[in-house]
Amino acid sequence: MQLKEADFISELTRVFGENGLGAMLSKERCEKFFSLTERMLEENEKYNLTAITEPSKIILNHYADCALIASLFPKGARIIDVGCGAGFPTLPLAIVREDLSILAVDSTAKRISYVEESARILGLSGVTTRVMRAEDGAKDENMREKFDFATARAVAELRVLSELCLPFVKVGGKMIAMKGKNAEFELAGAKRAITILGGKDAKIESFELVGGDEVLTRPVVVIKKAAKTPHAYPRAYAQISKKPL
Ligand code: SAM
């Protein structure tokens, strides 16, 4: 599909504007979103990146969705994005917030090679990448409790996700889980896991994403890291998933 840059940028500007995100866009950032879209659609078959291929849907469900959480991070924050897949939320966040330093991790080498190359082509110098399983990486002293924030979108249910993410967050930092309509139910079930892992004061921030006539609720679970995670966690993935805390 031939994507026209002017049409794409006009739709991007409209959707971001409608969602109160317009101030995040500059000419240069619009061009980066356009290049990213061209690249993602070109490489989709090779890397199996996204089921969403219509540019207006990519803008709404990937770019605006990820940009919604940009306001949660203070200037210069150090973030680990766990299970970044095709680079969400890493790449949109890095486009609209050049000050952030984001380590994008995923267990799939192909996707990480795509994210790394995309960040290089777009000149997103705040992004670094690593192929790893989160539960292995969190045992590495160079990464354990070294981040201000751990983010994750569409990776696992909250009990499992807390064990994958909270060990990376330093005391005083936060885990940010971008969730779907089951967020409240998942949070109620994850209270024990969150406490065991050193989390506290978990709450849901409900963002709204406006798309045409629809208003989509985008719940984001924000968990404070109040105490160090005990060394027994994270466990091996089979245990985490079979016997969530
Ligand atoms: N966050 C992206 C998004 O919102 O489009 C990708 C979501 S995709 C459904 C889930 C991703 O999490 C996959 O790319 C998968 O490889 C990765 N993943 C799942 N469990 C993981 C783990 N334990 N460690 C690292 N990556 C993991």
Q: Show me where the domains of the chain are located.
A: 72-242
Q: Which of 46-50, 90-94, 234-238 has the least mean pLDDT?
A: 46-50
What average pLDDT does the structure give for the chain? Answer: 96
CA gap 125, 128 in Å, rounded: 8
Q: Which two tokens stand for residue 67?
A: 């940009």
Ligand 1 pocket test: which of 61, 106, 164 has the largest number of ligand atoms within 8 Å of its C-beta?
Answer: 106
Mean pLDDT of the region 146-161: 97
Mean pLDDT of 72-97: 98
Q: Measure 82 CA to ligand 1 centroid, in angstroms.
A: 7
> Mean pLDDT throughout 211-232?
95
Q: What was the pLDDT predicted at 202?
A: 98
Q: Is the CB of 85 under 6 A from ligand 1?
A: yes
pLDDT given for residue 50 in this prediction: 86
Residue 7 alpha carbon to ligand 1 centre in Å: 31
**Residues 208-235, mean pLDDT to the nearest whole number:** 95
Does residue 89 have a cis peptide bond before it, meaning omega lies within 30 degrees of 0?
yes
Quick one: pLDDT at residue 53? 87
The pLDDT of residue 37 is: 97
Give the pLDDT score at 1. Answer: 60
Per CATH, the number for 72-242 is 3.40.50.150
**CA of 134 relative to ligand 1 center, distance in Å:** 10
Average pLDDT over residues 214-222: 95
Are 207 and 226 contacting, i.e. CB atoms less than 8 angstroms apart?
no
Whether the CB of 88 sits within 6 Å of ligand 1: yes
